[in-house]
Amino acid sequence: MRRRRFLAGTATGTLLAGCAGGEDASGGNSSETTATATAETDSTASGSDTGRSYSVSMAPVGEIEFDGVPRTWVANNGSWADMGVALGIEPPKALWLPERYHTQYYDGIPGVSVDTSGMTRLFGDGGGVSKETYYQLDGDVHIQDPNFLLNRAKGWKRADIDEIAENVAPFLGNTGFSRGYAWHEDYRYYSLYEAFGKLAEVFEREQRYEAFSKLHDGFQSRLSEVAPPKGERPAAAILWAEGNQPEQFSPYLIDEGTSFKQWRDLGVRDALAETDVEDFHGSRAHLDYETLLEIDPEVLLLRGHEDQTAEEFQNTVVRFLREHDVAGSLTAVENDDVYRGGPLYQGPITNLVLAERAAKQLYGVSRELFDRQRVADVVAGRVQR
């Protein structure tokens, strides 16, 4: 294999150059929309040689040197893919689980859509990830945490990661959607916007990142305004509900991971945090209906159903809960406070959509909390700061 022009520089931390991995439980996406048109980059045309090298540093890999802006890329999950959309770059060629990249969140953003039908699925049957797939994809950079790949894919060794980094392209990424993995304890996490800023550096789209960051600051202020006093906020439980007739649930305690950002920003009370229930990521724990009835949260936020509309969710999962001998007695079910609980992965655009949706679900907010057209303008490069 030819040596790529995107070169790995001196790496610090626990790895020299790396690759990444995925998550359990299912959840789908049936988007068939078309990819957005992208505008010019902030400082140069995307994918063109700049005539100079530059470097980006991110734990755990460290510093990676580039001698040109990447044209194509591979990403770990929908969080990174959404950041790419916000920066106005082409979608990644592959994701760990493309079906968990829920592109329907773009439906309300003028001119923004993504077609996932051609994306390669990295995570194979039985937990395998093929090295050959990386060669075939031939991406210019892999936005993936190597420790995730080492711990979540079967058969991968450090030598395999080094091989792909040497023969195809470097890896640069951090697993931030959850903070429940033991293997992530010895290197730093990044917030959603810290990671977003790093991706902007990779693709030299810092001005677009700054415009989005400014938009986000105003949005945060509006979220603070709509949240009721702490004593009036309902206690909610975030659970993964497998299928439309779930018989047990995987508990997700609200932590600093990016997948919980909307709940943190709204100051949501975590009903599970007030018990001895352990988080699914670290324990692979499950709850049955009897245990859930003992906790009896005021609101149920059920993950694993983002491919359904609110109406479809009500007509399947919620109807099943109402008719269930035990679930029908839950306070949240009796009061019609059962909602879709959001995806595992979210980026800057999807966070706006999900946080606004959460404000409506929990606090009854009826108005729009962010300007869709301004988001579209930033994505298209029409707003620079």
Residue 3 pLDDT > 80: no
Kindly state the tokens that stand for 74. Answer: 């591979």
- Exposed e or buried b for every residue in 294-317, given b needs 16+ CB within 10 A? ebebbbbbbbbbbbbeeeebbeeb
| Nearest of 41, 55, 71 to residue 11 by alpha carbon | 55
The tens digit of pLDDT for each residue in 6-19 reads 343 333 222 222 22
Residue 138, amino acid: D
**Is 355:343 a contact under the CB 8 Å cutoff?**
no
Kindly state the tokens that stand for 33. Answer: 């929309």
Residue 31 pLDDT > 80: no
Residue 25 pLDDT > 80: no
Task: State the Cα–Cα distance between residues 104 and 166, nearest whole angstrom.
Answer: 36
The tens digit of pLDDT for each residue in 131-140 reads 999 999 999 9
Find all residues with CB under 8 Å of 125, minimum gap 6, and list them: none
Q: What is the rounded average pLDDT of the residues 27-40?
A: 35
User: Torsions phi, psi of 81, nearest 5?
Assistant: -60, -40
Task: State the Cα–Cα distance between residues 341 and 358, nearest whole angstrom.
Answer: 8
CATH topology classification for 229-366: Rossmann fold (3.40.50)
Residue 234 pLDDT > 70: yes
Task: State the Cα–Cα distance between residues 319 and 317, nearest whole angstrom.
Answer: 5
pLDDT of residue 48: 44
| Nearest of 192, 227, 229 to residue 212 by alpha carbon | 192
Task: State the Cα–Cα distance between residues 259 and 371, nearest whole angstrom.
Answer: 22
Mean pLDDT of all residues belonging to the chain? 87
Residue 237 pLDDT > 60: yes
| Domain spans in the chain, listed from the N-terminal domain onward | 54-206, 229-366
Residue 379 pLDDT > 90: yes
Residue 105 pLDDT > 80: yes
Report the DSSP beta bridge partners of residue 128. 154
Beta strands, E only, 89-190: 94-95, 120-121, 141-143
Burial class for 90, CB neighbours closer than 10 Å (0-12, 13-18, 19+): middle
Higher pLDDT, 375 or 24: 375
DSSP state of 327: G
Instruction: Quickly list DSSP for 189-248.
Output: ---HHHHHHHHHHHTT-HHHHHHHHHHHHHHHHHHHHHSPPGGGSPEEEEEEE-SSS-SS
- Exposed e or buried b for every residue in 3-26, given b needs 16+ CB within 10 A? ebebbbbebebebbbbbbbbbeee
Residue 183 pLDDT > 60: yes
Domain 54-206 maps to which CATH number in 1.10.10.10, 3.40.50.920, 3.40.50.1980, 1.10.260.40? 3.40.50.1980
The tens digit of pLDDT for each residue in 48-57 reads 445 589 999 9
Task: State the Cα–Cα distance between residues 361 and 112, nearest whole angstrom.
Answer: 25
